[in-house]
């Protein structure tokens, strides 16, 4: 029973989205002539550990604040349903943090030589900040997710840090054009969070969780959602046109077919009760985009 409870608290369905930025960053590094499978695997494991840490912390934070209550539309959480106690979740968070730090150290020392001390310090500080961000989304009185800043942090860490940070681990350089696919992944990740907030708008408002959707209202939240999807598409389209060599560069377009259907569905939705199934669609489409983006710019024939 406890194993099932921990698996539930880990929210495995969130993991594909969390590693999408690493895959896009790897695609960019390969496009520019850099490849290191060991660093890639370590980065995937580190990202998964950070996401699980965040999921444990979110379960705990929303649970003790009463945000996860009977008004919530999504799946029951571990603390909310009583299958894990606050003490057990806090212990799980602590263990997850230790695992994150170990993986972050392993990733950094694998990617950089011993004489790259500035890069080592910079990325370790960035890693510690990522752990902090994973926890502070819902935990504590100053939780940024309760002040409408969740979208900003998701865009930064799932998009810019994940894509550009991993690319830099391999290439030791950045270029302006790499920001475009990073923006795409960041905005798609924010779109998933926005759907979550649209779904939970009633319970969030009641419990004092002032997400962007709570602040702007359901209808404006939908308009905001459209802008996220459209801008994500425009960003990667510009990147593709600029780097065009053959028709295979547009393979990633297939990922936007389910996103286009999703866009139309959201247009027709009148309330938050029908939002939950769309979360999986956008999350998996984002993961599919990351995979197809790799094949779009790296010869596999």
- Give the pLDDT of residue 6: 77
Higher pLDDT residue, 34 or 206?
Answer: 34
Distances (CA, A) of 154 to 105, 151, 162: 23, 5, 10
Please state, for a pLDDT cut of 70, what percent of the chain lies above it. Answer: 93
Higher pLDDT, 1 or 112: 112
pLDDT for the residue numbered 301: 44
DSSP sequence for the chain: -HHHHHHHHHTGGGHHHHHHHHHHHHHHHHHTT---HHHHHHHHHHHHHHHHHHHHHHHHHHHHHT-SSTT--SPPPHHHHTSS-HHHHHHHHHHHHHHHHHHHHHHHHHHS-TT-HHHHHHHHHHHHHHHHHHHHTTSSTT-GGGGT-HHHHHIIIIIIIIIIIHHHHHHS---GGGHHHHHHHHHHHHHHHHHHHHHTHHHHHHHT---HHHHH-HHHHHHHHHHHHHHHHHHHHHHHHHT--SGGGGGGGGGHHHHHHHHHHHHH--SGGG-HHHHHHHHHHHHHHHHHHHHHHS---
Planar angle of CA 45, 46, 49, nearest 5 degrees: 85
Torsion of CA 74, 79, 82, 83, to 10 degrees: 90
Note the pLDDT of residue 78.
61
With tokens 């979110």, the residue in question is: 58
What confidence score (pLDDT) does residue 77 get?
Answer: 64
In the prediction, which pLDDT does 17 show?
A: 94
CB 228 within 8 A of CB 184: no
Q: What percent of the chain has pLDDT over 90?
A: 68
Q: Do the Cβ atoms of 117 and 125 come closer than 8 Å?
A: no
Predicted confidence (pLDDT) per residue in 26-85, tens digit: 999 999 999 999 999 999 999 999 999 998 888 887 777 666 555 555 555 666 666 778
- In this structure, what token pair is assigned to residue 75? 């799946």
**Higher-pLDDT residue of 26, 274:** 26
pLDDT confidence of residue 65: 62
From CA 27, how far away is CA 294, in angstroms rounded?
A: 5
What pLDDT digit, counting tens, does each position of 209-266 carry?
Answer: 899 999 999 999 999 999 999 999 999 999 999 999 999 999 999 999 999 999 999 9
Average pLDDT over residues 6-19: 86
145 confidence band (pLDDT: 50, 70, 90)? confident
Over residues 163-169, the mean pLDDT reads 96
pTM higher than 0.75, yes or no?
yes
- The tokens describing 26, both together, are 């790897």
Which pLDDT tens digit goes with each residue over 51-66? 999 988 888 877 776 6
pLDDT (0 to 100) of residue 142? 81
Helix and strand numbers (H, E) in the chain are 14, 0
Average pLDDT, the chain: 90
What is the arithmetic mean of pLDDT over 118-131?
95
Q: Which of 112-116, 135-139, 174-178, 181-185 is predicted most confidently? A: 181-185
Q: How confident is the model at residue 261, as a pLDDT? A: 96
Q: Token pair for residue 73?
A: 């539309």
Tokens 């002032």 correspond to 210
Q: Which of 175, 156, 160 is nearest to 29 (CA)?
A: 175
């Amino acid at each position: 029973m406890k194993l099932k409870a921990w698996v539930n608290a880990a929210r495995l369905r969130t993991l594909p989205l969390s590693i999408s930025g690493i895959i896009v960053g790897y695609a960019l590094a390969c496009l520019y002539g850099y490849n290191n499978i060991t660093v890639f695997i370590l980065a995937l494991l580190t990202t998964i550990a950070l996401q699980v840490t965040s999921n444990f912390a979110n379960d705990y934070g929303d649970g003790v604040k009463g945000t996860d209550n009977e008004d919530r539309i999504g799946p029951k959480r571990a603390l909310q349903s009583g299958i894990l106690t606050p003490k057990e979740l806090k212990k799980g968070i602590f263990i997850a943090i230790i695992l994150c730090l170990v993986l972050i150290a392993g990733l950094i020392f694998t990617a950089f030589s011993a004489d790259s001390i500035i890069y080592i310090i910079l990325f370790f500080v960035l890693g510690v900040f990522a752990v902090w961000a994973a926890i502070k989304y819902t935990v504590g009185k100053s939780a940024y997710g309760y002040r409408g800043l969740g979208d900003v942090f998701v865009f930064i860490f799932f998009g810019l840090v994940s894509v550009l940070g991993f690319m830099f681990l391999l290439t030791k350089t950045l270029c302006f054009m790499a920001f475009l696919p990073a923006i795409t992944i960041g905005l798609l990740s924010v779109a998933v969070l926005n759907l979550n907030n649209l779904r939970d708008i009633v319970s969030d408002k009641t419990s004092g969780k002032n997400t962007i959707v709570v602040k702007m209202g359901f209808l404006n939240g939908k308009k905001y959602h459209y802008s996220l999807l459209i801008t994500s598409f425009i960003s990667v389209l510009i990147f593709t046109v600029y780097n065009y060599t053959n028709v295979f560069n547009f393979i990633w377009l297939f990922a936007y077919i389910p996103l286009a259907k999703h866009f139309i569905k959201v247009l027709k939705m009148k309330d938050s009760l029908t939002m939950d199934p769309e979360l999986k669609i956008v999350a998996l489409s984002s993961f599919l985009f990351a995979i197809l983006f790799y094949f779009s710019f790296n010869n596999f024939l």
